[in-house]
Amino acid sequence: MNATGRHQVPVPPGGMIGILGGGQLGRMLALAAARLGLKTHIYSPEKDAPAFQVCDAHTVGRFDDADALARFAAGCDVVTFEFENVPADAVANMVPNAGTLRITQDRFEEKSFVTSLGLGTAPFRKVDAPVEGSGILKTRRMGYDGKGQARVSGRREIAEALERFRNAPSILEGYIDFAFEASVIAVRGGDGSFAVYDPPENAHENHILRRSTVPSRLTPAQCDEAKAIAKKIADALDYVGVLAVELFVLKDGALLVNEIAPRVHNSGHWTIDACLVSQFENHIRAVAGWKLGDPSRHSDAVMENIIGEEARDWQRLAARGGALHLYGKSEIRPGRKMGHVTFLSRKKS
């Protein structure tokens, strides 16, 4: 592995892919790698990480343990990550996208980067102390599935939210009255090659993705624009692997960038069953230096997340007729993603 984590030659079958993080995304990456004859080594601080069940080797260790990380990397041909909150400095010489992590781990830096490319976002500003304003207050770092954010109006509500956030540096985003949400899942190779999946339409409940549907209500022109947005971002970052761009679709048809996720993404899980080459396989192909696979879909799809207690009804879920994916998590908790099911139908568009 070279200093940037990029390979001059492809990792051959039998090679070892290191994955930082052992959740469901790491699990599905490991399964995709196995399909290609590649081995995986999962590094996670959780002793019962779901990805440990399907990998060739695993290490339990902290993400701030430099020695453990170095030993892990030394046994891998290439290293990637399943979520963007691994410390960028700790993995700077280990993964090809450490620079991207530094940008996307901070919501203010991320939105500033997006606007520097001439792309639209919700209005935003830094908030480090109570101020007048209204919108969505979010911590600048960490937070997902609605964690670390609050809808606020006025100085008092902002002060109360900051107190709940333990005065963490935050960002105030203007409220967007959008028509619906969509995303685009793209993959970029180390040689600059680029492939992109059809953008799904996404519905959320309690800030958690409930359902992704493809085809979406986006017009052909909007689909082309969404794909162009993803390419512009991926090229500017010199990114390698799968990258998701979450979008607000306004009532006048305009597209605004909500967030960038430099990894495989929940709204792309339908690609496992509706495409010949899934987002997970294409990510493995990209980081291993292989040619990218065809992202076209052979079926229309609706992917639904299985959240919290819903997983207890696994027998009914297994009988529904969709493609069921359960993540092997040992504990059911409210709001926790326990699996997903994808329903396919004949492709209409």
- DSSP code per residue over 308-349: GGGGGGHHHHHTSSSEEEE---S---TT-EEEEEEEEEE---
**287 — pLDDT class (breaks 50, 70, 90):** very high
Q: Name the least confident of 79-83, 94-98, 309-313.
A: 94-98
What kind of architecture, by CATH, is found in domain 178-346?
2-Layer Sandwich (3.30)
Could you tell me where in the chain the CATH 3.40.50.20 domains are found? 16-100
Find, among 33, 143, 55, 52, the residue nearest to 330 by Cα. 52
Tens digits of residue pLDDT in 14-25: 999 999 999 999
Output DSSP code: residue 12.
P
Which fold, 16-100? Rossmann fold (3.40.50)
For domain 123-173, which CATH number applies: 3.30.1490.20, 3.40.50.200, 3.60.21.10, 3.40.50.620? 3.30.1490.20
Tens digits of residue pLDDT in 214-234: 999 999 999 999 999 999 999
Q: Name the least confident of 95-109, 133-147, 182-196, 200-214.
A: 133-147
Q: Which pLDDT score, from 0 to 100, does residue 337 have?
A: 97
Q: Which pLDDT score, from 0 to 100, does residue 52 have?
A: 98
**% of the chain beyond a pLDDT of 70:** 96
pTM for this predicted structure: 0.94
pLDDT above 60 for 208: yes
pLDDT above 50 for 213: yes
Q: Name the least confident of 4-8, 114-118, 166-170.
A: 4-8
What's the whole-number mean pLDDT along residues 272-297? 98
Could you tell me where in the chain the CATH 3.30.1490.20 domains are found? 123-173
Tens digits of residue pLDDT in 3-58: 344 545 899 999 999 999 999 999 999 999 999 999 999 999 999 999 999 999 99
Torsion of CA 22, 23, 26, 31, to 10 degrees: 110
DSSP 82-98: SSTTS-TTTTTTTSTTH
